[in-house]
Each structure stands twice: as C-alpha cells, then as structure tokens.
Amino acid sequence: MKHHPLHLQTILRRKKIVFESNLLQLFDTCPHCAHPSQSHIVDKPNSGFGTMVRVEQRCMDCEFTRKLDSQPMLKQMPLGNLMLSASILFSGSQISQVLRMLHIFNVATYSRQTFQRHQNDYVIPTIINGWKEKQADLIAELKENQIHLAGDRRNNSPCHSAKYGTYTFIEQTSKKVVDLQQVQSSEACSSNACELFGFKRGVSFLTEQLTCRGLVTDRHRSIAAFIRDDLKVNNPMCAEMDHFNDVWHTAKGLGKKTIKIGTKQPEVNLWKKSIVNHMYFVAATAPKENRRDHLKDRWLSLDNHLRDIHENDLDLNPMCDHGHLLYDRNKEWFVRGTVGSAMLTDLLTSNAVVKDVQNLTPRFQTSSLEAFHSLGVRFAPKHIHFGWLGQLARTYLAAMHHNENANRMQAITRNGLPQYRVSFPKYKSGHQN
C-alpha cells in the first residue's frame, strides 16, 4: 500500500467503532473478478496494532490479494492509538479506567506500557512545547504595558504531604495565566518554603521581560518580606510595584477567626457573613486617592455598625454608606461590654487585621486564579498521583485551556462594582453556609 502524507483533516475526521463481523462483510467478494473470496482479520500477538484492525483478502479464483488497515499509519504506528493516548491525557482521564472500560466493551486496545510510551515520547513533549510557544507569544504581547499580576499556590493533592505544588501567576488585565512553576515538596521543604520558592522562580522569570506595576498574593508572610526587602530593592522591573493582599484569602482568614470566637459566643456567628461582606465592600469601594487611609476608616466603622451606631468620629468615613436600614433584621445588634462584643472588637480593630485590610487589592481578578485552580482539577484530579512530567503537562494543558477561554469569562466588575456574589462556587461555599 502506498503511503500518503497525513493531512490534518484525516486526523480530525470522525471515527467509529466497528464490529469485526460487519467489517468482514465488505470483503465477501473479490473486487477484481467478483467471485466469492476469503478474508480474515490479522491478529498477531505483539503486532502493535492496538485499536487498529487489519484485514487481508485473498481470491482463490484470480489470486487477487489486498491488505486494508482501519487507521492511517504514522511511521509504522497506527495513528488512532497515538490519538487515543493524547485524548486520555487531554480529558484528564486515568489510563487504567479507560483500558478497563474498553476491555469490558471488548474493544481491542493496547497496553498500559504503550500508553506510557506515547505519553513520554510524543504527547508530553508536544504539550510542553505548545505551552512554551503560547507563553512566549503572551509575554511578547504584554511587553508594551506595565503589568499587574496575581499569584497563588495550589497543592496538587488534598493533604499537606502534597508531592508537588504549583505557583501560578495570572496577568490581571487579560486574566491569562502567564507563568506556572511546579515545585516538588520533600521533607526538607515545607509547604510554605515551597510556596516562596515557586513564587521567587516565577517572578524572576517574568520580570526578566516584563515591568510589574502591581502584584496581588495571599498574606503569606515570607513572600511579603521577600517582596519588600529583596524584590523591590534589587529588581529594577519591580521598583514601582505595589503589593496587595488578595481579598478572597484575607476574608476567608478573617471568617475563620470569627467562627473561632463564635464557638464560645454563638451570637457572633450571625455576623460572620456581614463581616466578610464588609471586607469585600471596603476593598471595592475605597477610592484610589489615600486608599490606605480610606480603607482603614471604612473598615473601622464596622465596629460601631455592629452596635447599631452608624455615625463615627472617623475622618474619612463619618457615617455608614447603607443609609436608613429598612430590612427585617434576623440578628440582634451587639451591646457594648458583652464578652462577644469585646472579643469581636479586639479582632476587628487589631493591628494585624487593620494592616491586612489596608493592603487589600482594588482588583478582584484573583478569583480567576480560583477558577483556574478548579479547572486544573479537571486535567489532573487531586486523588491521582502523576509523575513529575505528567503533572506538569496536565497543568500546562489547564493553563492553555484557561487562556483560550479567559476572555469569555464573566466580567467581575460592572460600573466599577464587583460582582463577587455570583462568581465562583468556591467563594460561595466559603462564605454562604
């Protein structure tokens, strides 16, 4: 049989599942002399056919013979096998499950070893090259402007003994992933140390080429210290950079502390949601000018509000923004002097919390990081262990998928106000139960 070069269209064309008995009906007669002919399916052990079927036909009358393959060949390799391997990876499936399913269906297939070979020799290198190319294009596009980054770490397995973690940077205007650093945890490297390590590697790679004007991270102390004492001092591409706290993590941290007080003072629990919402509210509404002072005064007004006092002696926020309160209240105002009230005041007005609030980002796109992380789970489920390259390729795939769809994501802001209430399930489950 003559070999034709493979066309993309051939590769992309639809495939079908074929029963052997139906297939053989096509070879009942000789195409040359039209007499009945013999045909059989070639079934040799270790043939490497996998999902491909080869039919040999021989006519006893005219000696006509032919051999037909059900798949195009790529250098002796049936293309469908390679494409099956790629599809398993692209869909975030597990090889053992796919092979079991095909076995139950009694579809001929290849071994796990063949899948591993396809993955290591072809699929993973292609994904890694693809990501590198896309990343270079994205960085070239971003070079014209000063960029705003948001960074966060994801553990690749549910427990803290995670074998790998990935530090991700998203460019906030385009909402695209610009860099990923996979870090291997070992006993010598704590989860926090790994986070700092991934952050450093990513930021130094990006700022070789891009000028960073703003950066949002969670409140990881060693990252904050590194940014302040090293990055801004020694890296000219970051000299003008502002570092902000991500609202999602900060609000979640405060919510946890509120719940802790609530275990002893249950009346506090009723206010947790309002406290967390207030944090989102001040972050979204504080003006740019004197932002830190505005954030502080807006935040501190909450302490009075909880006691039904809506006028304050705070310079930048003399009264609450909510106007007259009309709605039915399902919770009591706090009374000054009660234990719960005192504990809550201590928390809300503590230096640490006020400082965290003053550093809140005016931008909300860190939620695209959350969206990206939940997408990552689709390509690399957390309960499955993948090798270093398998994990890396799956994370790159998730990033490419995310970036292709980044512009289709729902806008976070409308008329300058955040729509965080409707955005992402993880946020909801964190705050609405």
- Would you tell me which residues interact with Zn ion (CB under 5 A)? 30, 32-33, 59, 61-62, 64, 305, 310, 320
Asked if 354 contacts 297 with a C-beta cutoff of 8 angstroms, the reply is: no
Q: Which is nearer to Zn ion, 319 or 354 (CB)?
A: 319
Between the alpha carbon of residue 184 and those of residues 48, 153, 169, 188, 399, the distances in Å are: 36, 12, 18, 11, 19
Rg of the chain in Å (alpha carbons): 30
* Minimum distance from residue 282 beta carbon to Zn ion (Å): 13
Asked if 152 contacts 167 with a C-beta cutoff of 8 angstroms, the reply is: yes
* Minimum distance from residue 268 beta carbon to Zn ion (Å): 17
* Distance between CA atoms of residues 303 and 293, nearest Å: 16
CA-based angle 300:305:308, to the nearest 5?
155
Asked if 37 contacts 58 with a C-beta cutoff of 8 angstroms, the reply is: yes
* Minimum distance from residue 335 beta carbon to Zn ion (Å): 16
Q: Which is nearer to Zn ion, 30 or 283 (CB)?
A: 30
* Distance between CA atoms of residues 123 and 235, nearest Å: 37
Task: Show Cβ contacts of residue 364 under 8 Å, excluding neighbours closer than 6 positions.
Answer: 247, 283, 284, 412, 413, 418, 420
* Minimum distance from residue 63 beta carbon to Zn ion (Å): 7
* Minimum distance from residue 33 beta carbon to Zn ion (Å): 3
Asked if 288 contacts 350 with a C-beta cutoff of 8 angstroms, the reply is: no
> What string of DSSP letters covers 193-223?
HHHHHHHHHHHHHHHTT--EEEEEE---HHH
For residue 14, which phi and psi values (nearest 5 degrees)? -65, 150
Q: Which is nearer to Zn ion, 229 or 308 (CB)?
A: 308
* Distance between CA atoms of residues 220 and 399, nearest Å: 23
* Minimum distance from residue 61 beta carbon to Zn ion (Å): 5
Q: Which is nearer to Zn ion, 305 or 394 (CB)?
A: 305
Asked if 373 contacts 399 with a C-beta cutoff of 8 angstroms, the reply is: no
Q: Which is nearer to Zn ion, 318 or 425 (CB)?
A: 318
Q: Which is nearer to Zn ion, 201 or 310 (CB)?
A: 310
* Distance between CA atoms of residues 67 and 366, nearest Å: 58
* Minimum distance from residue 407 beta carbon to Zn ion (Å): 39
